Amino acid sequence: EAQVTQNPRYLITVTGKKLTVTCSQNMNHEYMSWYRQDPGLGLRQIYYSMNVEVTDKGDVPEGYKVSRKEKRNFPLILESPSPNQTSLYFCASSLWAPLAGEGDTQYFGPGTRLTVL
Amino acid sequence: QKEVEQNSGPLSVPEGAIASLNCTYSDRGSQSFFWYRQYSGKSPELIMFIYSNGDKEDGRFTAQLNKASQYVSLLIRDSQPSDSATYLCAVYNNNDMRFGAGTRLTVKP
């Protein structure tokens, strides 16, 4: 089954304790991205990756890191989480960047609800 | 700051009616436009995308784009209770993907 998986689905942690949220897709997609969703603000892009070893900042990258060592995986790293990073996080992937064709459909993972105390 | 604006709603329509969802955007260079549906507690799923001015129809859904007015809309014909969800407008330009905050639609039986 074609899918994007995220782990963990729920996480409660404390300020300053490093954490990683994993994201994996089995569709051989080139483009992957991370979003956070907050009430009243919608989805905001954190980082995206056009291809392996190619990553770039989105709208709200502060406090986050990513890596893309393999095509299928795109982990989100919070080196020192703070309460303002409490949010719902989504990973998404598409064949290409969402610009110009049928292959641009972004498939979203199930989401990770993070609470930082 | 590039903005994508949507009326948060809730928008309530009776079953069988046409639901009209609107979205405006500030970045004139925006190249592609998307409508996502998000059920409560679930992840967004793509309904339609549109790149050119005019209308694009897919089943009960019609997307309308007017780049001069920086306006994109989604019409849902013969609305069903299962269409009750939050609808997210998204705008893409040069690797920058922006979402609106979404419009909550309720279709009453």
What's the pLDDT band for A97 if we cut at 50, 70, 90? confident
Q: Are B8 and B88 in contact (CB under 8 A)?
A: no
The C-alpha of A25 sits at a distance from chain B's nearest C-alpha, in angstroms, of 15
Residues of A in contact with B95 (CB under 8 A): 48, 50, 56, 97
What's the pLDDT band for B52 if we cut at 50, 70, 90? confident
Checking if the pLDDT of A30 tops 80, the result is: yes
Chain B interface includes A40 (CB < 8 A):
yes
The C-alpha of B97 sits at a distance from chain A's nearest C-alpha, in angstroms, of 7
The separation between CA B14 and the C-alpha centre of its own chain, rounded to angstroms, equals 19
Rounded distance, CA B49 to CA A23, Å? Answer: 25
Rounded distance, CA A95 to CA A100, Å? Answer: 11
Q: What is the pLDDT of residue B9?
A: 83
Distances (CA, A) of A35 to A104, A106, B68, B75: 17, 12, 29, 26
Tokens for A94? 């598409």
Q: What is the pLDDT of residue A100?
A: 53
Q: What is the pLDDT of residue A101?
A: 55
In the numeric block, the tokens 């498939």 are attached to A107
Q: What is the pLDDT of residue A103?
A: 52
DSSP letters along B70-105, please?
TEEEEEESS--GGG-EEEEEEEEETTEEEE---EEE
Rounded distance, CA B10 to CA B102, Å? Answer: 10
